[in-house]
């Protein structure tokens, strides 16, 4: 027997001198269920004791002391043993040779426990050894699994089976290894403390895909039906190999959005959502969701999900775009500038998508249309015509907004063509019109008299009027338009206009209203001629009627005939405007309109005459018609 052979060298070194009560047996021993197990054992007793009738021994289960009535496993003097051990135990050693090796057959899990030996040398020389052998009955093999299995690192898994039954030697096979990359197998047999164990080692390099995969070890005894299996699930540790998040998305301002993140790693990582340098949310899990409510443009940006499980770190980012209508643009303040100044008008706004920016002046396009958040309208050497309201209009598909500013251009006075002197019925009327900003001040200067007129004078009627940036001034001179000797105009008038940016003086041209005078003269002469013709015609008709009726002659008496003649047709808009209580008038528009005046009509009324048919016509003088009434 192999276990007895192991004990012989030990027995040979036992010395009779100085011997005490001692025992040697394995502290731990194992066996597969329904197999057998041999517990190797050797004992010693004091050398002064001489066995009288030989040495006897007892194996107990659980307790070494008989007074506690432990179950008897084996007894050399009798066959009386505990029910669970009947027919199962056999002493393989020779007690007289101090060998107490025990065989237990057909073991079950109920036989697991501590086994004690008691020696009976004879007489009072009986001793229960406190040392024990603990039997573990296994229903499946043991697999030695490392505390940590890390992806991409070589792994060794060893399956063990006890080999403590002399009549049966087990064999080991690995199961479910077909999916493993290049697996290697190696067998070995170990003996320690007179117990034997066989092993089979599986070597391979796991990958993340092997996490959770099953592996199995099968132990079987040839020529028997005894088969034992154990399955394990691989717990492969690996760093995050994928981090899944929402695809980049667009949301409207004020809406809600949920950002999902899932991380594939083992163990579960610490997942966090980050926005810039700010950590918004974290948890130790395989997934996490970040909920954003009532989003604003400030929520737009890059969101990053970070997974960290101690074996590695991985992150994935997404971009959240917030769409919103353009904000009210920010433009320059309204300003007043001097003519010739160069300006740059800025319009800033925000919107998503990027809005278009358009500059308008008084409702008309004033520059190019740009896209973005800034538009600059450059005005080089500004002119008075560029005074007005400038509006920046911004719009995108979600809305529009605008902002305005006013630009006022200040400039030196400018003389207008309407400025002149005109002969009128009362004398000469001089009008001076100028524009400027600030509105110009107008003065008249008469160099012949060395007089500057800027207020009402006894000889002049001075009138001034301001309309926006236009100033109009007028004076009337009670003078003839020409000198008596026809040597030139009797009036020499200068107009002076000024503001803070400059002064200008011009000589006003005298315009004779010849057409007007001719119309009055021709109209008067024509009217008199028509009247004379009508009177002659009336008398002729009266005399003929008298002859026909035999009546004595009666002359038609025209008592104080009332002669009504028209005034010159006046331009309602541009000719005159009453400026005083004395009946003087001032032109406010084009004084040249007097040239287009014409005689409208002349009327005669006879009292005591006989009615006659109306006569009308158009004369060379331009009159419309002539009407005669007799009452």
Do residue 133 and residue 162 come from a single domain?
A: no
CATH code, 286: 2.60.40.10
Share of the chain above pLDDT 90, in %: 59
What confidence score (pLDDT) does residue 195 get? 83
Do residue 134 and residue 31 come from a single domain?
A: yes
Q: Which whole number is the average pLDDT over 76-86? A: 91
Range in 5-14, 45-54, 355-364 the model is least confident about: 5-14
What confidence score (pLDDT) does residue 524 get? 61
Q: Which whole number is the average pLDDT over 123-152? A: 93
pLDDT surpasses 50 at 6: no
pTM of the shown model? 0.57
Q: What is the pLDDT of residues 235-258, one digit of tens each?
A: 999 999 999 998 888 999 999 999
Do residue 227 and residue 245 come from a single domain?
A: no
Q: Which whole number is the average pLDDT over 142-161? A: 94
Q: How far apart are CA 501 and CA 306, in angstroms?
A: 69
Contact 220, 195 (CB under 8 A): no
Q: Which domain holds residue 104?
A: 22-138
Asked if residue 579 is part of any domain, the answer here is: no
Higher pLDDT, 230 or 577: 230
Q: How far apart are CA 62 and CA 515, in angstroms?
A: 153
Contact 70, 62 (CB under 8 A): yes
pLDDT surpasses 90 at 405: yes
Asked if residue 538 is part of any domain, the answer here is: no
Q: What phi, psi does 289 have (nearest 5°)?
A: -130, 135
Residue in 383, 252, 259, 231 with CA at minimum distance from that of residue 319: 259
Do residue 181 and residue 269 come from a single domain?
A: no
Asked if residue 53 is part of any domain, the answer here is: yes
What confidence score (pLDDT) does residue 480 get? 56
Q: What is the pLDDT of residues 371-402, one digit of tens each?
A: 989 999 999 999 999 999 999 999 999 999 99
pLDDT surpasses 70 at 17: no
Asked if residue 346 is part of any domain, the answer here is: yes
Tracing tokens 């979600």 back to the chain, one arrives at 398
Q: How far apart are CA 102 and CA 116, in angstroms?
A: 11
Do residue 407 and residue 375 come from a single domain?
A: yes
Q: Which whole number is the average pLDDT over 326-345? A: 94
pLDDT band at 142 (very low <50, low <70, confident <90, very high): very high
Last residue of a domain, one of 73, 108, 138: 138
Contact 99, 41 (CB under 8 A): yes
148: left (phi over 0), alpha (psi -120 to 50) or beta: beta
Q: How far apart are CA 175 and CA 230, in angstroms?
A: 9
What are 145's two structure tokens? 């699994």
What confidence score (pLDDT) does residue 461 get? 78
The total number of structural domains in the chain stands at 5
pLDDT band at 600 (very low <50, low <70, confident <90, very high): very low
Do residue 218 and residue 273 come from a single domain?
A: no
Cβ neighbors of 588 (< 8 A, separation 6 or more) are 465, 472, 574, 576, 577
Do residue 401 and residue 430 come from a single domain?
A: no
Cβ burial 8-32 (10 Å sphere, 16+ → b, else e): eeeeeeeeeeeeebebbbbeebbbb
Contact 118, 129 (CB under 8 A): yes
Q: How far apart are CA 306 and CA 285, in angstroms?
A: 12
Cβ neighbors of 470 (< 8 A, separation 6 or more) are 416, 433, 434, 435, 439
Last residue of a domain, one of 85, 108, 138: 138
Q: How far apart are CA 89 and CA 73, in angstroms?
A: 7
- Angle of CA points 453, 459, 460, to nearest 5°: 50
Q: How far apart are CA 219 and CA 225, in angstroms?
A: 11
Q: How far apart are CA 610 and CA 619, in angstroms?
A: 25
Cβ burial 265-274 (10 Å sphere, 16+ → b, else e): bbeebbbbbb
Do residue 53 and residue 95 come from a single domain?
A: yes
Q: How far apart are CA 247 and CA 260, in angstroms?
A: 10
What confidence score (pLDDT) does residue 479 get? 64
pLDDT band at 167 (very low <50, low <70, confident <90, very high): confident
Q: What is the pLDDT of residues 529-548, one digit of tens each?
A: 768 778 877 777 666 655 55
What confidence score (pLDDT) does residue 28 get? 93
Asked if residue 290 is part of any domain, the answer here is: yes
What confidence score (pLDDT) does residue 150 get? 95
Range in 222-226, 270-274, 566-570 the model is least confident about: 566-570
Tracing tokens 């599986």 back to the chain, one arrives at 202
Q: Please state the three-class secondary structure of 597-610 as a single string.
A: CCECEEEEEECCCC
Q: Which whole number is the average pLDDT over 506-525? A: 63
Q: How far apart are CA 347 and CA 332, in angstroms?
A: 8
pLDDT surpasses 70 at 47: yes
Contact 395, 456 (CB under 8 A): no
Contact 445, 494 (CB under 8 A): yes
Do residue 261 and residue 212 come from a single domain?
A: no
Contact 503, 413 (CB under 8 A): yes
Across the chain, how many H-helices and E-strands are there?
Answer: 2, 47
Do residue 218 and residue 265 come from a single domain?
A: no
Q: Which whole number is the average pLDDT over 248-277? A: 94
Taking all residues of the chain, what is their mean pLDDT, rounded to a whole number?
Answer: 81
Q: Which whole number is the average pLDDT over 52-58? A: 89
Contact 337, 176 (CB under 8 A): no
Residue in 218, 248, 213 with CA at minimum distance from that of residue 230: 218
What confidence score (pLDDT) does residue 567 get? 33
Percent composition of the chain: helix, strand, coil (DSSP 3-state, to 5): 10, 50, 40
Last residue of a domain, one of 138, 169, 188: 138
pLDDT band at 503 (very low <50, low <70, confident <90, very high): very high
- Angle of CA points 43, 48, 54, to nearest 5°: 60
Asked if residue 252 is part of any domain, the answer here is: yes
Q: Which whole number is the average pLDDT over 91-106? A: 94
Contact 412, 338 (CB under 8 A): no
Q: What is the pLDDT of residues 455-495, one digit of tens each?
A: 555 567 788 888 888 999 998 887 655 544 555 555 788 99
What confidence score (pLDDT) does residue 561 get? 37
Contact 388, 406 (CB under 8 A): yes
Residue in 409, 346, 418, 413 with CA at minimum distance from that of residue 378: 346
Asked if residue 520 is part of any domain, the answer here is: no
What confidence score (pLDDT) does residue 254 get? 95
Do residue 41 and residue 74 come from a single domain?
A: yes
Asked if residue 612 is part of any domain, the answer here is: no
pLDDT surpasses 80 at 268: yes
Q: How far apart are CA 583 and CA 590, in angstroms?
A: 20
Do residue 148 and residue 87 come from a single domain?
A: no
Q: What is the pLDDT of residues 548-581, one digit of tens each?
A: 554 444 443 333 333 333 333 333 333 333 333 3
């Amino acid at each position: 027997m192999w276990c007895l052979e192991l004990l012989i060298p030990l027995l040979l070194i036992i010395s009779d001198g100085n011997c005490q009560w001692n025992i040697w047996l394995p502290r731990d021993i194992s066996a597969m269920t329904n197999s057998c197990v041999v517990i190797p054992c050797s004992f010693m007793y004091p050398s002064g004791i001489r066995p009288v009738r030989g040495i006897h021994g007892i194996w107990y289960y659980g307790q070494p002391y008989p007074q506690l009535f432990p179950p008897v496993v084996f007894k050399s003097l009798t066959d009386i043993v505990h029910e669970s051990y009947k027919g199962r135990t056999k002493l393989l050693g020779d007690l007289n040779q101090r060998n107490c090796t025990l065989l237990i057959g057909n073991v079950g899990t109920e036989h697991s426990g501590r086994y004690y030996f008691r020696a009976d040398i004879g007489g009072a020389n009986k001793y229960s050894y406190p040392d024990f052998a603990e039997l573990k009955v296994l229903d499946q093999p043991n697999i030695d699994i490392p505390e940590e299995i890390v992806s991409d690192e070589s792994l060794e898994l060893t399956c063990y089976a006890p080999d403590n039954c002399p009549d049966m030697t087990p064999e080991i096979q690995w199961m479910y290894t077909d999916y493993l990359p290049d697996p290697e197998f190696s067998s070995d047999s170990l003996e320690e403390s007179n117990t034997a164990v066989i092993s089979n080692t599986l070597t391979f390099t796991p990958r993340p895909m092997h996490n959770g995969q099953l592996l199995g070890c099968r132990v079987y005894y040839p020529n028997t039906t005894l088969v034992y299996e154990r399955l394990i699930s691989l717990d492969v540790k690996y760093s995050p190999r994928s981090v899944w998040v929402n695809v980049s998305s667009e949301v409207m301002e004020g809406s809600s959005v949920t950002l999902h993140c899932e991380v594939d790693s083992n163990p579960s990582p610490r997942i966090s959502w980050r926005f810039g340098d700010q950590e918004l949310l974290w948890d130790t899990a395989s997934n996490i969701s970040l909920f954003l409510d009532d989003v604003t443009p400030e929520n737009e940006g890059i969101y990053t999900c970070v997974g960290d499980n101690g074996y590695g770190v991985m992150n994935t980012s997404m971009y959240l775009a917030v769409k919103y209508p353009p904000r009210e643009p920010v433009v320059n303040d309204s300003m007043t500038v001097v003519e010739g100044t160069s300006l740059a008008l800025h319009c800033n706004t925000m919107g998503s998508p990027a809005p278009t920016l358009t500059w308008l002046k008084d409702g008309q396009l004033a520059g190019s249309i740009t896209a973005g958040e800034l538009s600059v309208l450059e005005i080089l050497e500004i002119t008075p015509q560029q005074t007005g309201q400038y509006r920046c209009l911004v719009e995108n598909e979600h809305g529009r907004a605008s902002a305005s500013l006013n630009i006022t251009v200040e400039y030196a006075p400018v003389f207008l063509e309407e400025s002149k002197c005109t002969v009128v019925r009362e004398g000469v009327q001089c009008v001076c019109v100028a524009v400027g900003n600030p509105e110009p001040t107008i003065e008249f200067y008469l160099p012949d008299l060395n007089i500057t007129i800027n207020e009402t004078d006894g000889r002049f009627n001075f009138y001034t009027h301001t309309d926006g940036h236009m100033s109009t001034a007028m004076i009337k001179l009670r003078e003839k338009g020409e000198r008596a000797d026809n040597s030139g105009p009797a009036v020499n008038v200068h107009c002076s206009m000024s503001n803070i940016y400059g002064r200008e003086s011009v000589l006003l041209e005298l315009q004779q209203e010849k057409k007007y005078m001719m119309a009055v003269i021709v109209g008067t002469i024509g009217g008199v001629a028509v009247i004379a013709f009508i009177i002659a015609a009336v008398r002729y008709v009266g005399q003929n009627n008298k002859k026909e009726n035999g009546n004595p002659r009666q002359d038609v008496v025209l008592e104080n005939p009332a002669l009504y003649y028209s005034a010159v047709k006046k331009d309602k808009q541009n000719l005159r405007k009453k400026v005083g209580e004395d009946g003087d008038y001032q032109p406010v528009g084009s004084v040249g309109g007097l040239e287009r005046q014409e005689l409208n009509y002349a009327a005669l009324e006879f009292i005591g005459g006989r009615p006659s048919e109306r006569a009308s016509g158009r004369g060379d003088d331009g009159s419309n018609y002539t009407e005669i009434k007799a009452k």
